[in-house]
Chain A
């Protein structure tokens, strides 16, 4: 069946099968393994207990991101003791096991899913894993990238492989031109709104269509990042000239002849024209509007022109109770317009939206305006390199002049694991990926939006249709 039409996923999968076991489980080779302080300590503990080493420390890289403070004095300031312990443990482990490591003081430190592509560690056609669900981000380059648990982290460390059952193929095609004021975040929120948080369960989603092709790499990463929120095992986008141009010149990417050789293979990866997908969904880009979540999962999303649904309209009692709980938790009223809802905090950052393109989008709205009174607005670049570039472009000045905080790289307020947290009852317009109860801090209320929409909320003090601010 060598000539049967295959998808992008099928091709990368097939290129990494070490062995197929009798029950159909595959021993899959892993090309790149990214580790961070939260999900690695017990894996190293396991290796140590069994007297094992890493099979390929050279294909592994460690960085701290989840627990690090993002304040300017973070190298000297005292961190929360449990965070400090996790960070110190990673540093001890990478030294003991000879793993390449990017320390906090390094200019390249940042969120693991930002630095992977940025440094050329994530490449088209590779298998890449990390003990974090948003590893799907790297699929934007045309890689097969997915999050794993701690036992699997240990398994990859020891064997450079994983035991995996093949996933099904799903394609989400977004055709046409996005309306003004909309971006990648709106695309992916609209997709999740349509297919639901379980829409991709058991599948790897390939994003295709002219609206996806037209995205830059940052936008593609935003889309793939959130494929996990649709329940998918991974998300991916076929590599093309945009991808090759992005990879070229990155620190650890192949160079010269090696790069040409790599590109020749990468060009063979896109799904064959007649490849069959188990599930196929098409969305018209022209129908997408700037999106905002109103509830406590990413599927509870509407256009900014929309209203909070009324749980009473839901026939299924279990669903109705769930909707009611969301409305109550979010302190909203059924039928209420989302636009105009006052916010306390604005967070621009996370592995979903903290790349230079995202910061530019926020700065474009912030320029010449000011953060509304009483609102705290944080901008947290995804990596030290993003921060540096933004400063070279003068974006930090625009944001600081407008009253935004300009912070050091890390996961920050994406999850309540470091000092950047919401306090109970605070309402936040956030560019992150999860609006679960308490995700940004106990009792915090999250509205997921794009960077431009977040900046618009910051300067008006309320959820705002960014299109009203343009021009």
Chain B
């Protein structure tokens, strides 16, 4: 996973609450076999007209927001489905950080798992950042995960909270699998104990499945 340390970039204002996963990426684009390539469908229904042309009003279709790396939104961002296509689509577009007053639980977890930093800040501060973001290229925002601050274009620093373990993993670019791999010995010990205590629990195994007549 790509490490996240400090990011300075364009923030796009999306002044909506309850942005659900279907808005982030509609269900009809979920039939993929790869994580990449979903960026073009990000916010599909807001971003494109019925005939497939771009809606020039939508923020991500305007300069400089086509290159946005941060998204500012309102309450309950990411509600809806547990599928990870929403963070994949954001990431593929280039968004690495979403700032909102709060997030839907599953989306929040899925973001960290995919290298996106979700930052919770009070509504009033999100409104300030929303105004900053409206200034476009004149207003680059910095997210410093090391120091846990958002730096506004005027230089003001806004501290934010983040789970220490999640922070560590993002900073190091570690995914949860790397983390768990460090416990391989304990997993092996558990398996040995289970095999002796509960031998009936052994899995069906490939051979057993193949051996059975149709």
User: Which residues on A are within 8 Å of B, measured CB to CB?
Assistant: 18-19, 21, 23, 25, 27, 29, 31-32, 38-39, 41-42, 45-46, 50, 52, 55-61, 67, 82-83, 85-86, 89, 98-102, 105-107, 119, 121, 123, 126, 133, 147, 149-151, 154-155, 158-161, 163, 251-252, 254, 258-259, 261-262, 265, 417, 438
CB contact under 8 A between A102 and B180, given known A29-B190, A85-B33, A259-B200: no
A151, B106: Cβ atoms closer than 8 Å: no
Of the four ranges (under 10, 10 to 19, 20 to 34, 35 or more), the interface on chain B belongs to 35 or more
Q: Using a CB-CB cutoff of 8 Å, which residues 1-51 of chain B contact chain A?
A: 27, 30-35
Pick from A27, A29, A86, A151: contact of B33, CB under 8 Å: A86
Q: Kindly state the separation between the CA atoms of A150 and B194 in the bound complex, as whole angstroms.
A: 27
- B183 contacts chain A at the CB level, 8 A cutoff: yes
CB contact under 8 A between A83 and B212, given known A27-B187, A56-B203: no
- B161 contacts chain A at the CB level, 8 A cutoff: no
- B155 contacts chain A at the CB level, 8 A cutoff: no
* Interface membership of chain B positions 184-200, coded 1 if the CB is closer than 8 angstroms to chain A and 0 otherwise: 10110011001000111
Pick from B106, B212, B214: contact of A251, CB under 8 Å: B212
CB contact under 8 A between A41 and B110, given known A101-B209, A159-B177, A163-B180: no
Count A/B pairs, Cβ under 8 Å.
Answer: 132
Nearest-CB distance from B44 to chain A (Å)?
A: 14
A42, B33: Cβ atoms closer than 8 Å: yes
CB contact under 8 A between A18 and B183, given known A151-B113, A252-B208: yes
B183, A133: Cβ atoms closer than 8 Å: no
B35, A45: Cβ atoms closer than 8 Å: yes
User: Which residues on B are within 8 Å of A, measured CB to CB?
Assistant: 27, 30-35, 82-84, 88, 106, 110, 113-114, 164-165, 175-177, 179-181, 183-184, 186-187, 190-191, 194, 198-206, 208-210, 212, 214
CB contact under 8 A between A58 and B204, given known A100-B210, A101-B209: yes
A149, B84: Cβ atoms closer than 8 Å: yes
B201, A31: Cβ atoms closer than 8 Å: yes
Nearest-CB distance from B149 to chain A (Å)?
A: 23
Q: Kindly state the separation between the CA atoms of A39 and B32 in the bound complex, as whole angstroms.
A: 9
CB contact under 8 A between A27 and B180, given known A58-B204, A100-B205, A252-B208: yes
Contacts of B181 in A (CB 8 A): 158-159
Contacts of B34 in A (CB 8 A): 41-42, 45
Determine the residue in chain B with the shortest Cβ distance to A147. Answer: B82
Contacts of B183 in A (CB 8 A): 18-19, 27, 159, 161
